[in-house]
Structure formats: structure tokens, C-alpha cells
Amino acid sequence: MPYVSLILSRIGKAVIVLLAILVFNFFLIHAAPGDPAAVMAGEAGATDQQFLEDLRERFGLDQSLPVQLWRYMSGVVQLDFGYSYRRQMPVLDLILARLPATLLLTGAAFVISLTFGIIAGTLAAMRAKRPSGSIIMGLSLLFYATPLYWVAMMAVLVFSVMLDWLPAYGYSTVGAGYTGLTHVGDVAMHLILPALTLGLFFMAVYTRMTRTSMLSISQQDFVKTARAKGLAPGVIQRRHILRNALLPIITLAGLQAGQMVGGAVLTETVFAWPGIGRLMYESLMQRDYNLLLGIFFFCALLVILFNMFTDVIYRLADPRIKQSAA
């Protein structure tokens, strides 16, 4: 029951946050320069003022912002996110078609960054006074400081153009018609470069956090007591130091899992990955307000869901946290 009340409390707060985000994003998008009607008219090769007014009337752009906001919020409550000006399709259908690709990319990058980040951080902590530990931390600092788009372009140049080991772009081989396990393998080959590129930055963060947390916990009294009892160093590292060091990593991982969706914009654009990150970039260039608002809503929803999940996992991992703290 305490966990049920915790989840219900988090859901109530999440609804309020989502409503606030919807209103803020609506006014933010409409405050940006550019006119969707002018963009659509330019693509149609028309400059007639009457044609522009017809477009604004057709998509409700001629109404005041409060009226447009009310219509939009009323539609969202009914899971109607409007119509894409540019693509002539419902926004919800467009996002749901692209969402699986983004979840696959961010999920793979999350697993890679968290797994290898914890392993590298553990090795760096165990070899803190050795050259190998300094090398690990130097590489993590390098990956942390290097711009994501530069890493993506260098990965394409080296592994696709020069070595021809991995495909440079896309979700799968165009026109190949693969099915079954062959299709899965083809998608996996296309996933390697974007997932590694996106995961490198976050892996560097987890490496540094794990090392710092382990070094701090290794000085605690209960660890000194374990050493005094004669426990093996490996047992102390695994059961006493690493286990407690993972608690802040869980919190950080939950926060950055949502950030990966935002980081996927650059990665998906460079690698032509057909996810909502690339769709967000295209809709921004086309001033497609409804599509942008829908993407922002789903990104915010994913971040909130990740945070709620992390909150529950953190309380399961550390029973010392009281449920009333929620």
C-alpha cells in the first residue's frame, strides 16, 4: 500500500507538471519568429495574400492565442494533438510511427553507457593510484568534453567511409527486404554507431560518478570494519562499496535517461535515424507548430515517467528511505 500511495502521488504531480509544460511550450512556440502559413505558401509557390489568409483560417492560425490554446488543450485531453501542417497527417500518428526508433536508440545507448560507465568507474576507483586509473579518467574527461555532433561525424568518417565496417545512416538497408532474424541483424548493425555515439557522453558521466562515489564510501567506518574482519578485497568492493555507491548512480541514471531523448536530436540528424529527434528538427525548420508541441509533450512525458520509475527503484534499492519522504 505505501508504494501504491507513492505512485498515485507521483501521477497527480505528473499531470500538473504536464499541463504546465503544455501551456509554457504553447506560448514559447508561438513567440518564435516565423509564420507557418508563409512557409506552406512558399512551398506551394504562391505569394497571394488571400491564399495566406485562407491557410491561416484553415488551420485556425487567424484566431487569438487564448482561443488557440483552449482548442489545443481541449484536444490534448482527448488525445488529439492536432494536424501536421506540412505532412498533412495527424500529429499522434506521426509521433507513434517514429517513437519506437527513438526508444530503441536511447534504450541501447542507456544500457551501453550505464554498463560500461559503472565498469570503468569501478576499475578507476580500484586503481586510483595507478597509471591505468588516470588513463580511464582522462578518456572519460575527453568523451565528456567532446561535442556530440563531432563524435558522430568522426564515427561516420572512420567506421563507415574509411574502414567500411558499419552502415553510415538509416534504420535498415533500403530496398533489401530483409525479414526475421536477418532484419533484426540489419537493424542492429545500423544501431551500433548512433547508440555508441550517444552513449559515450553519458558513459563518461557515469564513470566519473562511480569512481567518486566508491572512493568516498571506501573511507566509511563500515568499510574499515569489513577490512578489520579480514574479508577479501573483492568481497568488500562488490558487497560493501559498489553496492552503496550505486545509489546515487540510480538517481543520476533516471535523470539522464530522459535527457537522452533530447540528445538524440543531434544523433538522429547526423545518422538519419528515423526517430522523433529528427522529426523535431524537421518540424522546427518547417514551423510545424502542432507537430512540435506534440513532440515536446511526449518528450516531457518520457522524462516524467523515467523520473517516477527511478523514484520507485531508488526506494526499493535503499529501504532506509521513508515512504513519507515522497
Q: What is the pLDDT of residue 326?
A: 44
Distance of CA 104 to the CA centre of its chain: 11
| Cell numbers representing residue 314 in the block | 531508488
What are the structural domains, with CATH classification, of the chain?
A: 2-77 (no CATH), 94-316 (1.10.3720.10)
**pLDDT at site 244:** 75
Can you state the angle between helices 91-126 and 276-285, rounded to 10 degrees? 120
- What pLDDT score was predicted for residue 318? 60
pLDDT digits (tens, 9 = 90+) for 136-185: 888 888 888 888 778 888 888 888 888 888 888 887 777 767 777 888 88
Q: What is the pLDDT of residues 55-68, one digit of tens each?
A: 666 666 667 778 87
Q: What is the pLDDT of residue 325?
A: 47
Q: Which residues contact 194 (CB under 8 A, 6 or more apart)?
A: 105, 109, 152, 267, 268, 270, 271, 273
pTM equals 0.76
The string of pLDDT tens digits covering residues 103-132 is: 888 888 888 888 898 888 888 888 877 888
Query: What is the model's pLDDT at position 163?
Result: 83
Residues of the chain with pLDDT under 50: 323-326
